[in-house]
Amino acid sequence: DAGVIQSPRHEVTEMGQEVTLRCKPISGHNSLFWYRQTMMRGLELLIYFNNNVPIDDSGMPEDRFSAKMPNASFSTLKIQPSEPRDSAVYFCASSFNTDTQYFGPGTRLTVL
């Protein structure tokens, strides 16, 4: 079975540009999570969707960040405009309800 799929795996962009990260959860999972990992702050939960509905977005750093889940098999995390401090590894994870979370390979974002 395919795991969580994320794209791109690496993204290098310049400050001010729009960045879109994509995620395909495991088939049959109805919960999706976006995390950010940095050396300074560790792993932070940005947003949690259940049945395609955002349940908790309290971890989204500011209005420059937005996330959508138009259907059960696809989600995006958008940063507009991007800033150097957004450089991090972004993970998508999925689960069935509040059971075990399975993580994707991550997207390493570098904002110059």
Partner 1 sequence: AQTVTQSQPEMSVQEAETVTLSCTYDTSENNYYLFWYKQPPSRQMILVIRQEAYKQQNATENRFSVNFQKAAKSFSLKISDSQLGDTAMYFCAFMRRSNYQLIWGAGTKLIIKP
89 neighbors 107 (Cβ within 8 angstroms): yes
Strand partners, 88: 109
34/106 Cα distance (integer angstroms): 10
Buried b (16+ CB within 10 A) or exposed e, 22-43: bbbbbeebebbbbbbeeeeeee
Nearer to partner 1 (CB atom), residue 14 or residue 56: 56
Nearer to partner 1 (CB atom), residue 64 or residue 96: 96
In the complex, minimum distance from the CB of residue 105 to partner 1, in angstroms, rounded to a whole number: 5
What single DSSP character describes residue 85?
G
Please report, as residue ranges, which positions from 72 to 111 form the binding site for partner 1 (by CB under 8 A): 89, 91, 93, 95, 98-106, 108
42 binds partner 1, rule: CB under 8 A: yes
Nearer to partner 1 (CB atom), residue 16 or residue 56: 56
Contact set with partner 1 (CB under 8 A): 31, 33, 37, 42-43, 45, 48, 50, 55-56, 89, 91, 93, 95, 98-106, 108
